[in-house]
Amino acid sequence: MAKHQFQTEIGQLLKLMTHSLYSNKEIFIRELVSNSSDALDKFNHMRLTDEAFKDADWAGQIDINLDLEDNSLTIGDNGIGMNEEDLMENLGTIAKSGTKAFVESLTGDAKKDSNLIGQFGVGFYSVFMVSNQVEVITKKAGEEQAYKFSTDGTGEFEITPVTKESHGTVMYIKLKEEEKEFLEKYRVESVVKKYSNHIAYPIMMHFTEDETTGEGEDAVTTKVKKSEQVNVATALWAISKSELKKEDYVEFYKSLSHGDDEPLSYLHNKVEGGQEFTTLFYIPKTAPMDLYRADYQSHVKLYVKRVFITDDDKELLPTYLRFVHGIIDSEDLPLNVSREILQENKILANIKQNATKKILQAIKKLKGEDSDTFTQEYNKVIKEGIFQDHINKELLLDIVKYKSSVEEGMVTFADYVSRGDSEKKEIYYIAGEDEKVLRNSPLLEAYKKANIEVLIMDDKEIDEIVAPSIGSYKEWTLKDITTIEAPDSKTEEEKEEISKEFKSLTDKIKEVLGEEVKEVKTTTRLTQSPSCVVKDANDPMAGMAHMFAQMGQAMPETPLILEVNPEHAMIKKLDKLENDALFSDMAWILLDSAKLSEGLEPKDKSAFALRVSKVATEAL
C-alpha cells in the first residue's frame, strides 16, 4: 500500500470542486462516461494495431450501476485501463497546463465554471462535487496486476494492488448524503441521454426496482435487478443527414464540447466517389480560453471507419481554425495508421483542404447576429488565416471585417466595394494600434472632406502586418493612406505652385530637423492640422512589415516625411518668422506633434515638453 500526496494544484482544485462548484453537479456523469468512452476508443484502436489483441473477442461497453443500499454508484468500462504509473500520472498529477489555467479562468459564476471543467481536462475531479469517497479499480490491457486508487478528496490518495479479472476501469463513487438523486434511475438516465446519447458504445444501466406480483392480500413486492441500455450508441456522424434533427446535432455537440451551449453553426458532409470521408464540424459561440496559447488543445478527432485514431493531431485543420470542434472519419486510411504516416499523408491533406473550404463557406453564410458573434470571437484568427492560407484567401477576405470611418460597427470588404468608387477600384485603410488615434489622424482629414471611406484597422500587432499582405480584394487594390497622396481638388500645377511658394520654408525646416526626416514638403491633404508625418511609399522597406514578421524579425524603422499644411495659420506665420531660435523650436514641435497624432513617440519627449512650454510662454 502506498500513500501519496496530490500535486498542490490538484489540492486546490479539489477544494474548489467540493466547496464552490455546486450547480450543475450532474456533469460528473458526463465526464466519467466521456473518460470511459475514451478508454474504449483506445483499446479498440489497440486491437487493430497490436498483434497481442488482434483476435480479442471484445465489445466495448459502459456500465452504470446504481446501488441504493450502499448509497453508491459505479461507472465502469472494459477499455484500456490503467497501471500504477498511469494512475499516478493521470489522476495524481496534471501534466497539462490544464489545472492552473482552469483555476485562473474561474469566474465565480457556478454555471459557467462547471462548463469549464471538461474543457480544461480536469473532468475526473468533478466527481468530488458529489462524493468524498472515490475508488478507481483498474487493470491495464496486457498487464497482470490490477490496482485500486482511493481517495477522500482531500490532500491524499492511496494506490493498492488488487485483483480484477479483465482489463478496464470501474469508478466506485460513494455519494454524499445530500446527493442521493444520482441513484434515481430516471435522473441518471436523463443525464446520460442529455450528454452522452451518441457515445459510440452502449451504456447499460443496472438498477433494482420493486415489482409486485399477485393482487390484494396476496400481493408480494420483491426487489428485482434490471438492466437497460440508455443511449442510442451510434456514431452520430455516420447517420444520414436526412435522419438527423437540429436537436441531435446540438446534443452531440454538448457531449463533444463538454458544455451546455448551443453551437453557432454546424456542418455535416459525406464525400463519396474517389476518396470517401465524413466530416462533422461545429463552430462554438465563444472562443476557447486557450485560443491564443501556444499549447492550445485541438478539438478535432480523427476516426478511420468509425474507429477512433487520435484527438491531438493539430494538423487536421489549418491552425487558424483551431477553434473548430468536430470529427473527421476516413474510409480510406489504414486502421493501423501511425503518427508518422499521418504527417505527410495525401489522403489527409485532401480531407483538410475540403474541410477548410466547407468550414469557411459555412462561416461566410452566417447572417446578422450570428455573423456579429463570429466576428467578435474570431476576427483575429481569420486575419491569421489571410496571412497563412493563400489558397483560401478569397473566402477569408469575404469573412473578415473592419471598422470604418463612415459607419459604426464592422464592415466587410464587400460592403466597402459596394459604395466605393468603382472606376478607381481602391480600398483605403489606415492601420495601427489604437482606434482613437487612428480616427483622429490628420491623414484622415482629406478623406473625410472628400467623403471617401477609410477602413480603420486597429488590431494590435496584427493589422499592420496582415493588411499590407492582402494586396487586393477582387479587382480592388488596398491602399495604406499613410503612404499615398491624399485625394484633393487641386491640380498638379497648383500643387507645384504651392510647393514653390513655400520652398524656402520647407528647406529651412529640413535644415533644422536634419536626418530625423527624409523630406519636408507641403501638402493639401490636411484641413485642421498644421502638419502630419507619412511613410515614404518609394522606400523599399515600406509595405514589407509582413515579410519581416514572417522571418520573425522586428521591422526596421522607415524614414518619415514631414508634410506641412500651407493653409494653416501656424505655417503661414512660421513662413514669415524671423526669430531663429523660436523657428527651430517650432520645427521640432511640428514634427513631434505630428508623430504623436499617429501614435508614434517623439524622439526626445522631455525636449518636446520643454519646447512647448517655451513657445507657450512666448505667446502669452
| Site residues (vs Mg ion, CB under 5 A) | 35, 123
**Which CB atom, from 118 or from 468, has the smaller least distance to ligand ADP?**
118
* Angle subtended by helix axes 503-513 and 580-597, to nearest 10: 80
Whichever of 35 and 196 has its CB closer to Mg ion, that residue is 35
Amino acid at 188: V
Q: Rank residues 139 and 510 by Cβ distance to ligand ADP and give the closer one.
A: 139
Residues of this chain, 79-108, that bind ligand ADP according to CB under 6 A: 79-82, 90-91
Q: In whole angstroms, what is the distance from residue 50 CA to residue 29 CA?
A: 31
DSSP code, position 89: I
Total binding residues toward ligand ADP, as defined by CB under 6 A = 16
Closest CA to 72 of 167, 186, 168, 206: 206
Stretch that binds ligand ADP, among 7-15, 119-127, 563-571, 598-606 (CB under 6 A): 119-127
Output the 3-class SS for 237-282.
HHCCHHHCCHHHHHHHHHHHHCCCCCCCEEEEEEECCCCCEEEEEE
Residues 6+ apart with CB under 8 A from 436: none
Q: Answer yes or no whether residue 6 interacts with ligand ADP by CB under 6 A.
A: no
| H helix or E strand, kind and range, residue 534 | strand 531-535
Cβ 612 vs Cβ 618: under 8 Å: no
* Contact characters 7-46, ligand ADP, x per CB under 6 A: ------------------------x---xx--x-------
Q: Which CB sits closer to ligand ADP, 85 or 601?
A: 85
Element of type H or E holding 98: helix 98-105
Paired strand residues for 173: 73, 134
User: Measured between alpha carbons, how far is residue 547 from residues 268, 464, 469 in Å?
Assistant: 37, 11, 9
- Taking CB under 6 A as the criterion, the residue among 10, 13, 64, 122 binding ligand ADP is 122
Tell me how far the alpha carbon of residue 481 is from its chain's centroid.
Answer: 31
Question: Smallest gap, in angstroms, from Cβ of residue 287 to ligand ADP?
Answer: 19
121 binds ligand ADP (CB under 6 A): yes
Nearest distance from C-beta of residue 122 to ligand ADP, angstroms: 5
Show the binding pattern over residues 389-428: x = contacts ligand ADP (CB under 6 A), - = does not: ----------------------------------------
Q: Which option in Mg ion, ligand ADP, none does residue 231 bind, with CB closer than 5 to 8 A by kind?
A: none
Taking the least distance from each CB to ligand ADP, the nearer of 78 and 523 is 78
Between 158 and 197, how does the x/- string for binding to ligand ADP read (CB under 6 A)?
A: -----------x----------------------------
Question: Which range in 118-126, 299-307, 463-471, 549-557 contacts ligand ADP by CB under 6 A?
Answer: 118-126
Backbone angles phi, psi at 132, to 5 degrees: -125, 30
Q: Where does this chain bind ligand ADP (CB under 6 A)?
A: 31, 35-36, 39, 77, 79-82, 90-91, 121-124, 169
